[in-house]
């Protein structure tokens, strides 16, 4: 249908970039990139007309549009800037010249393929820069020598794709990365762009090997000079991964910021001051910065108490309750004692659901006046329940009286 709109408007349209790459490398790509040799907004409007299974968002400044399908699929439409290349002397060979330039501006060869979506050449795979060869050879290559200088975030993308697909970074590309590091091209990156890249890496399926690669390139210090990958750090990253594997199987259905657990593990060796500096460099909002510094300190105390000796359930409960989920999992990852790990797992899977049977109404009926006393009584009942001291409603009534 995209193709039909293209034909109607007399504009050529292509599927491009990561979505074409993933036709060959994986199948779960839900973001689709399309380039129109014409006006992308006008094109998107024409496509959306009469359909009720999508929403349209447009961005005038960049002349781009986004289609959000009810199915969860999203499609970005961009304009290949035809005006530069529409010289009357254009030769037939450069028929796809505007999309070619659009593709040439991209990061790696593997992201430069396009599929024609309209006209008689529908389905034609266009590969100007030997992307297919590089996919077969499993190598990440830039298109030109200034790629990383123009956009240093691409260094992190190179490492991310390398690990995701089990590719390796090509020799020249590697030398260009080293050059970007040498001239410290990352200095001018804003906190949020730098964080965006780190977060992407920490959200990938396999995180530790990518961090090891960052370390090999001496890229961790771009985030903070004291950030290192020691044996202890590696062990903690492994533990974080195991903890996440456990979490996935536990069917706890709470939103989890996976990246945050890895972030905490990675930065575990930093002291409070350094952690604050790291958060600042990454442009974290004050709220997130405070959450991280406060909860991290609490989590550390929690690890110390929990692994000294097996704690009573009510004590475990009190220690873990103030922590956010990622920090509770950090405690689990950090402790080396099985009984402490078990305490956290029991907290997350069962303790959080325990409630006293008596409620405010019952206390009122028993003659207690509403006030702060209620919370005290209910907390005491909860602790007694967690520790198995009360089992029935009558036990609770006896305890209150």
Helix (H, G, I), strand (E, B) or coil at 164: helix
Q: What is the dihedral of CA 101, 102, 105, 111, to 10 degrees?
A: -120
The DSSP secondary structure of 121-154, one letter per residue, reads TTT-EE-SS-HHHHHHHTEE-BSSTTHHHH-THH
**Judged by CB, which is closer to ligand CTP: 163, or 328?**
163
Kindly state the smallest distance separating residue 111's Cβ from ligand CTP, in Å.
3
- The burial of 260, by beta-carbon neighbours within 10 Å (0-12 exposed, 13-18 middle, 19 or more buried), is given as buried
In a 10 Å sphere around its CB, with 0-12 CB exposed, 13-18 middle and 19+ buried, how is residue 400 labelled?
Answer: middle
* Beta carbon of residue 197, minimum distance to ligand CTP (angstroms, whole number): 9
Using Cβ positions, the residue closest to ligand CTP within the complex turns out to be 18
- Residue from 2, 11, 12, 33 binding ligand CTP (CB under 6 A): 33
DSSP assignments along 268-287, one per residue: TTS-HHHHHHHHHHTT--HH
Q: Taking CB under 6 A as the rule, does residue 106 contact ligand CTP?
A: yes
- Choices 51-59, 103-111, 336-344, 365-373; region in contact with ligand CTP by CB under 6 A: 103-111
Contact between 107 and ligand CTP by CB under 6 A: the answer reads yes
Q: How deeply is 204 buried, as exposed, middle or buried, from its count of CB atoms within 10 A (0-12, 13-18, 19+)? A: middle
111 makes contact with ligand CTP (CB under 6 A)? yes
- Asked if 17 touches ligand CTP (CB under 6 A), the answer is yes
268 lies in the site for ligand CTP, by CB under 6 A: no
CA–CA dist 367, 382 (Å, integer) = 20
Is the CB of 262 or the CB of 327 nearer to ligand CTP?
262
Q: Which of residues 224-263 bind ligand CTP (CB under 6 A)?
A: none
Q: For ligand CTP, how many residues bind (rule: CB under 6 A)?
A: 11
Contact positions with ligand CTP (CB under 6 A) in 144-163: 151, 153-154, 157
- Which CB atom, from 131 or from 381, has the smaller least distance to ligand CTP? 131
The residue (of 80 and 295) whose beta carbon lies closer to ligand CTP is 80
For position 18 contacting ligand CTP by CB under 6 A, the verdict is yes
Sign, CA dihedral 237-238-239-245, equals positive
Binding site for ligand CTP (CB under 6 A): 17-18, 31, 33, 106-107, 111, 151, 153-154, 157
């Amino acid at each position: 249908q995209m193709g039909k709109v293209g034909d109607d408007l007399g504009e050529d349209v292509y599927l491009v970039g990561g979505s074409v790459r993933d036709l060959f490398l994986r199948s779960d790509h839900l973001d689709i990139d399309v380039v129109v040799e014409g006006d992308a907004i006008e094109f998107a409007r024409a496509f959306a007309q009469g359909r009720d299974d999508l929403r349209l968002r447009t961005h005038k400044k960049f002349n781009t549009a986004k289609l959000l399908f009810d199915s969860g699929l999203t499609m970005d439409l961009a304009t290949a800037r035809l005006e530069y290349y529409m010289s009357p002397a254009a030769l037939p060979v450069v028929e796809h010249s505007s999309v070619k330039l659009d593709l040439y501006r991209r990061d790696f060869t593997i992201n430069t393929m396009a599929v024609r979506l309209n006209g008689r050449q529908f389905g034609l795979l266009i590969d100007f820069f030997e992307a297919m060869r590089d996919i077969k050879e499993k190598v990440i290559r830039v298109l030109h020598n200034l790629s990383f200088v123009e956009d240093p975030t691409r260094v992190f993308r190179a490492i991310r794709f390398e690990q995701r697909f089990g590719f390796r970074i090509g020799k020249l590309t590697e030398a260009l990365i080293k050059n970007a590091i040498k001239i410290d091209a990352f200095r001018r990156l804003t906190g949020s762009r730098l964080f965006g890249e780190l977060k992407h890496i920490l959200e990938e399926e396999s995180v530790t090997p990518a961090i090891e690669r960052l370390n090999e390139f001496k890229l961790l210090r771009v985030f903070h000079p004291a950030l290192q990958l020691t044996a202890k750090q590696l062990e903690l990253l492994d533990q974080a991964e195991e903890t996440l594997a456990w979490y996935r199987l536990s069917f706890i259905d709470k939103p989890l910021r996976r990246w945050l657990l890895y972030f905490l593990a990675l930065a575990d060796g930093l002291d409070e001051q350094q952690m604050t500096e790291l958060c600042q460099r990454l442009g974290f909002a004050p709220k997130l910065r405070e959450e991280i510094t406060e909860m991290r300190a609490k989590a550390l105390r929690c690890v110390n108490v929990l692994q000294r000796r097996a704690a009573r359930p009510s004590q475990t409960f009190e220690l873990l309750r103030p922590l956010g989920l990622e920090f509770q999992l950090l405690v689990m990852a950090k402790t080396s004692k099985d009984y402490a790990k078990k305490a956290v797992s029991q907290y997350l899977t069962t303790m959080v659901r325990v409630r006293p049977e008596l409620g405010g109404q019952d206390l009122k009926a028993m003659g207690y006046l509403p006030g702060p006393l209620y919370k005290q009584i209910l907390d005491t009942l909860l602790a007694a329940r967690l520790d198995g001291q009360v089992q029935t409603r009558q036990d609770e009534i006896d305890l209150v009286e």
